[in-house]
């Protein structure tokens, strides 16, 4: 079975070395996470920051989706209703989704959540 562990630390490895935002054969949303964490020279702190960025990106996606869908559920778009929907979606995500899938969505250096959050956020603007 393929192990995602080397990929999970890959962003941190790229980050403490010379960061190249775009490289040949790249199949992801640039090396934004590595670039954002590049000022942190300590490898362990850098890895923590890379993982934090990925986890926050997943929750940012849930927030954007909540903002988009709250009008359908509440009839109007308010921050209070958005936060209730976001909290509900976050709790359900953490309760229902298996640990392996949460790892892939939030920590595995797969910046799809970041791409979707930024794309949908730009669409909403």
The token pair at 28 is 């992801």
Rounded Cα–Cα distance for residues 102 and 108 (Å): 9
Predicted local distance difference test score (pLDDT) of residue 3: 43
**73-111 pLDDT per residue, tens:** 888 889 999 999 999 999 999 999 998 888 888 777 677
The token pair at 41 is 């020279």
**20-65 pLDDT per residue, tens:** 666 655 555 567 888 888 888 888 898 899 889 888 999 999 999 9
Rounded Cα–Cα distance for residues 41 and 89 (Å): 35
Alpha helices in the chain (DSSP H): 5-16, 32-37, 43-74, 79-96, 99-106, 112-124
């Amino acid at each position: 079975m393929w192990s995602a562990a080397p990929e999970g630390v890959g962003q941190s490895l790229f980050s403490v070395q010379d960061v190249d935002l775009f490289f040949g054969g790249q199949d992801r949303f640039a090396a934004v996470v590595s670039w954002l964490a590049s000022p942190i020279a300590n490898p362990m702190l850098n890895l923590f920051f890379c993982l934090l960025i990925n986890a926050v990106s997943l929750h940012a996606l849930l927030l954007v989706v909540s903002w988009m869908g709250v009008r359908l559920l509440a009839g109007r778009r308010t921050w209070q209703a958005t936060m209730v929907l976001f909290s509900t979606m976050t709790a359900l995500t953490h309760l229902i989704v298996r640990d392996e899938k949460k790892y892939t969505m939030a920590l595995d250096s797969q910046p799809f959540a970041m791409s979707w959050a930024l794309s949908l956020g730009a669409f909403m603007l």
